[in-house]
Amino acid sequence: MDHNELEQRRKAATPRGVSVMYDFYASKAENATLWDEQGREFIDFTAGIAVLNTGHRHPQVVAAVQKQLAAFTHTAYQVVPYASYITLAERINALAPVQGAAKTTFFTTGAEAVENAVKIARAATGRPGIITFSGAFHGRTLLTMALTGKVLPYKKGFGPFPGSVFHARYPNAQQGISVEESLESIEYLFRSDISPQDVAAIVFEPIQGEGGFNIAPEAFVNGLRALCDRHGILLVADEVQSGFARTGKMFAMEYYPQAKADLITMAKSLGGGLPISGVTGRAEIMDAPEPGGLGGTYAGNPLAVAASLAVLDIIEQEQLCCRAQTLGAELVEVLQQSRIHCPAIADIRMRGSMVAVEFDDPATQKPDAKFTRLVQRKALDAGLMLLSCGIHGNVIRFLYPLTIPNAQFKQALEILAQALKS
């Protein structure tokens, strides 16, 4: 198919609101490699926005889905249940770092998981208020847009938003926001906007994804837990982007052993490329909504559940948590070495393979989105797909499959090192 013709058809048939990053079209993908319609080959460090920790079309995922495809594809779990849904819930209950007995329910998208975590928190506490953070991203539905802490491009023109949602400041050393200031900004909300007795939940990302791979300091998360305990507020960890071995642990919340979340939202890499999300939480909280209050036609679709069970096997069998640590360390070493000839590197952040590099203009010390785009362009020209993030668009995040072969990873790091030579 002619590329220009396809571009024209795309612009004529689909709205500009669904903007696309690349000007080529996918035709095939396998593990960390993606081919376009013209047969060009790319190393995929975007992984469909953090969905493919186990790579494109992992053979075990493909086999599990094919097996399920031959049995049944849909019943609606709430109409006719199936055992695989229960098995997946049991396995996640055993893995998720929540206090005491856990229960899990499934949905389809990350935003849906976050919406339902809010529903469950409200039902459990009988309170309306939700506190989230600057720079947060929780989804594109009306409620999750309200929770999201970035106006452009997510919120502009889409209001009014659901009420009782308040934003505190997420700690950020680069932007000069200390843990104390962040916790104080919540106290400020309690004085100026909402009584803590009216707050159902504090929803936060243990590592902000779209916001720039900002890692929550331990003192901050412990501070949130203490604050929640003091006021009877539930702590909700949004692990949609950070879950399933990306950080070197199954869940990023395992880095905060003293501050267990009451509810955890998950999606993306759970399904290994099939759409599924979930909410896991303390059993008594999860049971707060009345029967029929949770669910959805496609929620916990059998094909996606089969894929998820395979993903959990793969993470264990291929020791992907360990591999995330090794690959992340190799990448960070290349980034550190690049500092010598790339003065724009302002910060390097790493938790396992959740790695990011932030660029500032060396002359002004201001965020440099233009340079970030230049690095992306140079890498792409050499066959490496990179994804940006950050509230100023000046961060490159690395989301390669953790199953990437060593030689291909090395090749990608060489391309990256070249692209950083300004």
Please report whether residue 167 would count as binding ligand PMP according to CB under 6 A.
no
Is residue 267 near ligand PMP by the rule CB under 6 A?
Answer: yes
Binding-site member from 56, 122, 127, 138 for ligand PMP (CB under 6 A):
138
CB nearer to ligand PMP: give 116 or 241.
241
Q: Which of 34, 103, 121, 205 binds ligand PMP (CB under 6 A)?
A: 205
Amino acid found at 234: L
Pick the binder of ligand PMP from 114, 202, 379, 402 (CB under 6 A). 114
Q: Residue 135 CB, nearest distance to ligand PMP (Å)? A: 11
Instruction: Give CA–CA dist 397/379, Å, rounded.
Output: 13
Q: Give the list of residues 6+ apart from residue 105 with CB closer than 8 angstroms, or none.
A: 89, 116, 278, 279, 286, 294, 295, 299, 300
Closest CA to 233 of 126, 147, 138, 101: 126
Nearer to ligand PMP, 111 or 310 (CB): 111
Contacts for 407 with CB less than 8 Å, ≥ 6 apart: none
CB of 51 to ligand PMP, least distance (A): 9
What is the C-alpha separation between 288 and 121, in angstroms, rounded? 8
Please list the alpha-helical segments (H only) found in 51-109: 59-71, 83-95
Among 85, 107, 133, 137, binds ligand PMP (CB under 6 A): 137
Choice from 115, 210, 262, 358 touching ligand PMP (CB under 6 A): 210
Residue 56 touching ligand PMP (CB under 6 A): no
What is the b/e burial string over 390-403, where b = at least 16 CB atoms within 10 angstroms of the residue's CB?
bbbebbbbbbbbbb
Q: Select 105 or 241, whichever has its Cβ closest to ligand PMP.
A: 241
Q: Cβ closer to ligand PMP: 238 or 360?
A: 238
Separation CA 73–CA 69 (nearest Å): 6
115 binds ligand PMP (CB under 6 A): no
DSSP-derived secondary structure letter, 107: E
358 binds ligand PMP (CB under 6 A): no
**Which CB, 241 or 372, lies closer to ligand PMP?**
241
Q: Does 238 bind ligand PMP (CB under 6 A)?
A: yes
Comparing CB distances to ligand PMP, the nearer of 399 and 415 is: 399
The CA R_g of the chain, rounded to the nearest whole Å, is 21
Residues with Cβ within 8 Å of residue 277, at least 6 apart in sequence: 106, 107, 108, 109, 110, 112, 113, 240, 265, 266, 267, 268, 270
Residue reference for tokens 């309170």: 127
Q: Is residue 134 a contact residue for ligand PMP (CB under 6 A)? A: no
Q: Which residue is nearest to ligand PMP (CB)?
A: 110
First-to-last C-alpha distance (Å) of the chain: 36
Stretch that binds ligand PMP, among 84-92, 98-106, 110-118, 163-171 (CB under 6 A): 110-118
Does 304 bind ligand PMP (CB under 6 A)? Our answer is no
Question: Which 3 state secondary structure label does DSSP give 123?
Answer: helix
Decide if 276 contacts 296 (C-beta within 8 A).
no
Assess 391 for contact with ligand PMP (CB under 6 A).
Answer: no
- The residue range among 235-243, 327-335, 353-361, 380-388 that interacts with ligand PMP, by the rule CB under 6 A, is 235-243
Between helices 302-317 and 59-71, what is the axis angle to 10°? Answer: 150
Binding ligand PMP by CB under 6 A: which of 31, 53, 54, 109?
109
CB of 49: closest distance to ligand PMP in angstroms? 6
- Contacting ligand PMP (CB under 6 A), which of 149, 209, 248, 295? 209
Contacting residues toward ligand PMP, per CB under 6 A: 49, 109-111, 114, 137-139, 205, 209-210, 238, 240-241, 267
